[in-house]
Amino acid sequence: MSFHTAIHQNRVPEFVSGGNLVLYNGRIHTLEKSQPEVEAVVIHNGRIVFLGASKDALARAGDSETVDLEGRFALPGFIDSHVHFWRSGLMDQMVDLRGVRRIADIQRMIGEQANKVAPGGLVMGRGWTDTKLVEERYPTRWELDQAAPDHVVYLLHMNGHSCALNSRAIEFLRPDANGPGVERDPATGQPAGPLREKIAFEAQGKLLSLLDPRVRAACLEITARQAVEGGVTAVHCLEGGRLIGDPDVKDFVTHQASLPVSTILYYQITDLDRVLDLGLPRIGGCVLIDGSPAAHTGALYEPYTDRPDTIGPEYFSQQELNDWVFRCHRAGLQIVVHATCERAIGQMLAAYENALARFPRAGHRHRIDHFYFPRREQVWKAAQLGVLAGVQPYFAEVFREMYLKRLGPERAQRVHPYRWFWDAGAVAGGGSDSFVTPIRPLWGIHAAVNHFIPEQRIGVREAVLMFTRNNAYLGFEEDQAGSLRVGKRGDVVVLSDDLFNVAWETIKNVLVVYTISRGCVTYRG
């Protein structure tokens, strides 16, 4: 099946025609003002047909499956607005280096994995970060050669924007030693192993050709399992793109209809004609306007605290962005881009403002994803323009040390400013950026209400809305998901504790008991 045929045949994902299910004896929060809490919900052919009292629901049960919630708390199914779906499944099959503190430990773990792979094969690791290594640097090619001299070694940094390679990988890829993003050995001028940004993405794309077919086949199934375990019933999937090619998006569109979650495809290219030819209503995803502060490639106005020689690169001129955004905007598409820091955010807001001035268009819902180090006035400008934000609250917890180191304590007061978003009326939807952090909305909710900057904390209900109603709005699905109402999809998450009444510092410990997608129980805790 061709890519073009696959994407058209799978335009509307329906993994099943929909189940018939009655949930009763619960405390079900609908997130709808007209009927905020009910005891029961009846789902027929995947759609909600009744909300109300348990006795009335059971009277409508017929031969439907019934589930006694035993007084448990339930919400609309969670939505994750930023997942690299295929790559998340790939990362799960890599050596997990999260928590590693020494390069020697990386060497040991990679060596152990190499013993399980045929000589010449690909050995992959992920999740490590130089800021938590005692050496405070990337592993070199020679250190990785010691661990696996007969294999191709690829280690993805936790930020997802950089990597470390051994000599066999460098020989396979042959990067230009003088090219941007290539760290060089000071003695020889040859590539030392670490790659950053564009060249790192290109390396990953080329190395995918070495993957065992069994690894590729398992990717989507693994991510789908992770999603339903996290209480997720819908995912915004950022796939493909010029940096790593289209092997992931081809697999995704071929199998999209069989996944146990509803999905929205964000095809990560800038080619307007191709997107229009495919009939897609949106363009972009992680189209990089800047990089990541972890790699000193997030675009700042003032230098990095720990690298005063750089403010981060500029990937596009303002004129280039203005031209591309205007063409896509005039074509009626929703635009989604990756912009982490203030200078790149400023570029995108200027490009959106220019397009709207030249061609006013209500309801465009253009997005800036990440948006985690803006200036205050930029948040207000986003609200004014109707620009939406796809944000990752859990980053505030896992990358706290990095933000303080890269930006200093004063500027770090502005990272992940969720209180600013709510005060400005800017719509922000929550995501994981999986593979970077796990698909666990409860962890994102926990991080948003327990933000390490007290002034940026939001309430539990506000955080819940980020992963439900707001995300439905980001994906033009507010009539389908995000709240529980007759006619909407039968997507529900049942939790072990009352999220609105537990101590805030314990939210991360709340468990998913059931995940229900389109009336089908996809996970039982």
Range 435-452 average pLDDT: 97
Is the pLDDT at 1 greater than 80? The verdict is: no
Residue 16: which pLDDT band, with cuts at 50, 70 and 90? Answer: low
* 102 vs 91: CA distance, rounded Å: 21
Residue 4: which pLDDT band, with cuts at 50, 70 and 90? Answer: low
Is the pLDDT at 12 greater than 50? The verdict is: no
For residue 83, what is the enclosing H or E element? strand 78-83
Q: Please report the pLDDT score of residue 210 as a whole number.
A: 85
Q: Please report the pLDDT score of residue 215 as a whole number.
A: 83
Residue found under tokens 């327990």: 450
Token pair listed for 512: 């998913």
* 467 vs 459: CA distance, rounded Å: 13
User: How many of the other CB atoms lie within 10 Å of CB of 391?
Assistant: 28
Residue 7: which pLDDT band, with cuts at 50, 70 and 90? Answer: very low
* 394 vs 459: CA distance, rounded Å: 15
Residue found under tokens 């993003």: 181
More confidently predicted of 213 and 117:
117
Token pair listed for 310: 């750089």
Q: Which of 25-34, 191-200, 211-220, 253-262: highest mean pLDDT?
A: 25-34
Range 133-142 average pLDDT: 97
Residue 103: which pLDDT band, with cuts at 50, 70 and 90? Answer: very high
Q: Please report the pLDDT score of residue 272 as a whole number.
A: 97
Largest CA distance in the chain: 79
Is the pLDDT at 14 greater than 50? The verdict is: no
* 240 vs 252: CA distance, rounded Å: 9
SS3 107: helix
Residue type at 505 in one-letter notation = E
Residue 10: which pLDDT band, with cuts at 50, 70 and 90? Answer: very low
Q: Please report the pLDDT score of residue 336 as a whole number.
A: 99
Range 319-336 average pLDDT: 99
Residue found under tokens 């819902």: 365
List the Cα angle 364/482/398 in 5-degree steps.
Answer: 90
Range 506-518 average pLDDT: 98
Weakest-pLDDT range from 175-179, 192-196, 430-434:
175-179
Q: What are 194's strand-pairing partners?
A: 164
For residue 342, what is the enclosing H or E element? helix 342-358
For 257-293, what is each residue's pLDDT tens digit?
889 999 999 999 999 999 999 999 999 999 999 999 9
Kindly give, in sequence order, each residue whose CB lies less than 8 Å from that of residue 325, ignoring residues fewer than 6 positions away: 335, 348, 351, 352, 354, 355, 366
CB 121 within 8 A of CB 210: yes
Number of helical (H) and strand (E) elements in the chain, helices listed first: 19, 24
Q: Please report the pLDDT score of residue 161 as a whole number.
A: 85
CB 131 within 8 A of CB 294: yes
Domains located in the chain, CATH noted: 1-77+482-525 (2.30.40.10), 85-210 (3.10.310.70), 270-479 (3.20.20.140)
What integer best gives the mean pLDDT of the chain? Answer: 94
Residue 13: which pLDDT band, with cuts at 50, 70 and 90? Answer: very low
Is the pLDDT at 447 greater than 70? The verdict is: yes
Ramachandran category for residue 429: left, alpha or beta (phi over 0 → left; psi -120 to 50 → alpha) = beta
For residue 144, what is the enclosing H or E element? helix 141-147
DSSP code per residue over 441-499: HHHHHHHHHT-SSGGG---HHHHHHHTTHHHHHHTT-TTTSSS--TTSB--EEEESS-T
The percentage of residues in the chain with a pLDDT greater than 70, rounded to a whole number, is: 96
For 463-499, what is each residue's pLDDT tens digit?
999 999 999 999 999 999 999 999 999 999 999 999 9
For 242-251, what is each residue's pLDDT tens digit?
655 676 677 7
CB 411 within 8 A of CB 456: no
Within 13 Å of residue 26, how many CA atoms lie on the same side as its CB? 32
Q: Please report the pLDDT score of residue 11 as a whole number.
A: 39
For 30-61, what is each residue's pLDDT tens digit?
999 999 999 999 999 999 999 999 999 999 99
Is the pLDDT at 9 greater than 70? The verdict is: no
Residue 8: which pLDDT band, with cuts at 50, 70 and 90? Answer: very low
